[in-house]
Structure 1
Amino acid sequence: METTSRTAAQSTVEESPAPAQQHTETETASRCAADGYARAPFPWYGLDGAFTGPRWLMQVGSAADGTVQHGSLGHGDEPSIRSEATTGEKERFAAVITVAASPVRRSGDGTGVLDATTVSSAAWLAGSGLLAHTWPPQLDHSLRDDWLDQQTETAFELADDLQGDSWSALSLPVDGVPTPFHYRESEFGWVLAGSTLGGVHIGAYGRGMSAYGLGFAVVRDLGPYMRRDG
């Protein structure tokens, strides 16, 4: 918008962060996000070295006492809630979820019991994660919450029945070792879940990128996930 005085123009310039400042703020935000991943008492998994595209941090999930229980790492295009039919674009991404394997245990504050985490936990997180980035083109904006609640309940039921007909078997390498996964596809993308020899469960979801050619590996350096220059 044009300004009509020198004072207004100076104010507008001064209120806009300089490129160097914006870069610094972005780096700070990335490092703060990385702190959550660094607190995890388990190894993180992402796509292995065969994937050469962009990598990015997503989010971690913690218990009431602050203990990190699971988290996600993104690969490819950062997904958004949008209709492919409207934009004409097809996002290509895969999100990898690592879930700490834990038995039934008391909560950190001693007031309750936490459920055990299993491969179904990873399947549930993957299914709900995919739905969070999904919006059927024929769906009215005002109805999306109702649709999401319904689909989320369905995803939970599917995750609780990994031996059901909705899932098929898929073997993918984890740290170079062929590992069995439960796999399913839908009109919105694909979801898979399995367990590693390292004592964690892996879930993953994506679209526009085939799951059949993926491989997973321990992430030994979060640096590539913190760089947002792609």
Structure 2
Amino acid sequence: METTSQAVAQAPAAEDGQQVPSARRAVDGYLRAPFAWYGLDEAFTGPRWLMQVGTGADGTVEYGSIGHGDEPSPRTEYAAGNDEAKEKFAVVVTVAANPVRRSPDGTGLLEATSVSSAAWLAGVGLLSFARPGQLDHSLRDDWLEQQTETAWELADDLTGPAWSTLSLPVDGALTSFHYRESEFGWVLAGSTQAGVHVGAYGRGMSAYGLGFAAIQDITAYA
């Protein structure tokens, strides 16, 4: 995907309940999207928070992420089997379903988005919260590059043996998702009847009990 990520971390509200400017800027990126955002459905009653949006070369918002549960830190060193490093969280990634289309300058074609796009973004997202603590800084960079390439290869082969099928409700209707687990957590991806692709990743929360729904008021997350 020819996109640029724009970090929009969660910001606190002012004491009088009004949004502070940084919170306003954060949600503005989501408000520019020409598609519906998805998150966990109302069965989830924990914290929800904005993460980041990704834009195309013309500035159009093409995807973004919404966090649920504990807010993990990318600085946390993760070790498999270490319960203290396993925050309970799930992140939902919404990806606009775009066909092959011309670039803004008309000189070429932009890559289409698909369920594989959602699977790759979810896989890379999980890696951002899975830094192995036993590696030094230089080796971590090599590890991340290798794991990112692996995530792309897996996302490009959703019918392969690394994936299973999981049916979960989306807007109340059972929907088929591609699902896989690793030592770092789980990843899933599928499509909705609303014309967007949905990916998700998490750790400490079981994917089997999740449901997804379109977000009615994204400003409530700021």
| Structure holding more helix per residue | 1
Distance 1:132 1:112, change over 3 A: same
Instruction: Quote the RMSD (CA, aligned, Å).
Output: 2.2
Determine if contact 1:45/1:219 at 8 Å carries over to the other structure: yes
After superposition, the C-alpha distances for 1:158-209 in whole angstroms (9 at most, x for unaligned) are 0000000000000000000000000000000100000001110000001011
Q: Distance in 2 between matches of 1:111 and 1:78?
A: 41
How much does 1:109 deviate?
2.4
User: Does 2:42 match 1:49?
Assistant: yes
| Structure holding more strand per residue | 2
Q: Distance in 1 between matches of 2:18 and 2:110?
A: 37
Q: Distance in 2 between matches of 1:39 and 1:29?
A: 16
1:196 alignment partner AA = T
How much does 1:83 deviate?
2.5
After superposition, the C-alpha distances for 1:100-138 in whole angstroms (9 at most, x for unaligned) are 001111112223211110000000000001001111232
2:49 alignment partner AA = W
**1:60-209 mapped onto 2 (5 Å cutoff):** 60-81=53-74, 82-84=76-78, 88-209=84-205
Give the structure with higher Rg (CA): 1
Determine if contact 1:55/1:224 at 8 Å carries over to the other structure: no
Q: Distance in 2 between matches of 1:193 and 1:217?
A: 14
TM-score (norm 2): 0.88
How much does 1:224 deviate?
3.3
Q: Distance in 2 between matches of 1:200 and 1:21?
A: 34
TM-score (norm 1): 0.85
1:37 alignment partner AA = Y
Matched residue, 2:51: 58
Which runs of no fewer than 5 residues in structure 2 stay unpaired? 1-11
Distance 1:165 1:36, change over 3 A: same
Aligned length: 208
**1:2-13 mapped onto 2 (5 Å cutoff):** none
Q: Distance in 1 between matches of 2:181 and 2:198?
A: 17
User: In percent, how many aligned pairs have the same letter?
Assistant: 71
Which runs of no fewer than 5 residues in structure 1 stay unpaired? 1-18
Q: Distance in 1 between matches of 2:221 and 2:175?
A: 24
